Structure 1
Amino acid sequence: MALFAPVRSETTDLDAVRRYAVSVIARSEGEDLQMKAVTLALLGGIMWRAVPGSTALMQDPAGAKAILSTTLGSRHLTFAYDQNTEAIEMREGTTDGPVLHRFCNRTLVGDFEGPFSVLWR
């Protein structure tokens, strides 16, 4: 089970999401603009449906990887950008949990509904 320390500078869910967006977009800078749009759409959905006060930005022990931790519905999820696959992975529980979905530059707007609709009930 991976343990990560919360980044202490955020004071609200929005602060955590903003810092995560900056981190992911900086890491995906060499990719096409679609990944930036996917990141923003994904984070908009998280802000819309996350349990208030449940969202925090965390980092791996080396400080190289930003992880967004939140609760959607009754499920705790983590979101982390994987540079190897150039995708944001949505995982159940911790960063070691099963990958529920990958969002990448090939993700269409309509593809957001499926993974999230189950969580929004």
Structure 2
Amino acid sequence: MALQAEDITTLHQYAQGVMTRAEHHANTVGSIALALMGAIIWRADKGTIRIRQSAKGLANMLWLEINGKRYVLGYNHADETIELKDRSQTGSILYTFSNTTPVTDVESIFRAL
């Protein structure tokens, strides 16, 4: 089940969870996650951000639409990267991000979506 993220409170809660989890077991993506959150807020169509919920709260998977096309961002535990996928969590991987990804790449990738 996913929660519609329509306000800063929900996005703040999501960002806190992502950063806390990054500190504990995903230290390869914490910095780039901040850049991705900015890109999400900048480019997402209004009312399209949805965040996966689990029994523990908001999880590391987010759906959004840009220009009417759906994308999914999720953490890949095996590769320790954040993946941007086409349409669904099982969709084609379009890009992968880690702390080694230049922030300028995040901007150009999201600008082109």
Give the TM-score taking structure 1 as reference length.
0.75
Q: Distance in 2 between matches of 1:84 and 1:18?
A: 26
Question: Are positions 1:6 and 2:16 aligned together?
Answer: no
Aligned AA for 1:79? L
Q: Distance in 2 between matches of 1:18 and 1:73?
A: 24
- Higher alpha-carbon deviation: 54-63 or 101-110: 54-63
Percentage of matched positions with identical amino acids: 29
Tell me the residue number matched to 1:111: 105
Equivalent residues of 1:80, 1:90 under 8 A apart: yes
Give unmatched runs, 5+ long, in structure 2: none
Q: Distance in 1 between matches of 2:5 and 2:110?
A: 26
Describe the shift of the 1:59–1:96 C-alpha distance in structure 2 as closer, same or farther (beyond 3 A): farther
Give deviations 1:36-59, integer Å, cap 9, x for gaps: 221111110110111010001114
Give the TM-score taking structure 2 as reference length.
0.80
Equivalent residues of 1:60, 1:66 under 8 A apart: no
CA RMSD of aligned residues (A): 2.6
- Quote how far apart the aligned CAs of 1:69 are: 0.6
- Quote how far apart the aligned CAs of 1:86 are: 1.5
Tell me the residue number matched to 2:19: 25
How many residue pairs match? The answer is 112
Equivalent residues of 2:51, 2:58 under 8 A apart: no
Equivalent residues of 1:89, 1:103 under 8 A apart: yes
Describe the shift of the 1:107–1:11 C-alpha distance in structure 2 as closer, same or farther (beyond 3 A): closer
Equivalent residues of 1:13, 1:55 under 8 A apart: no
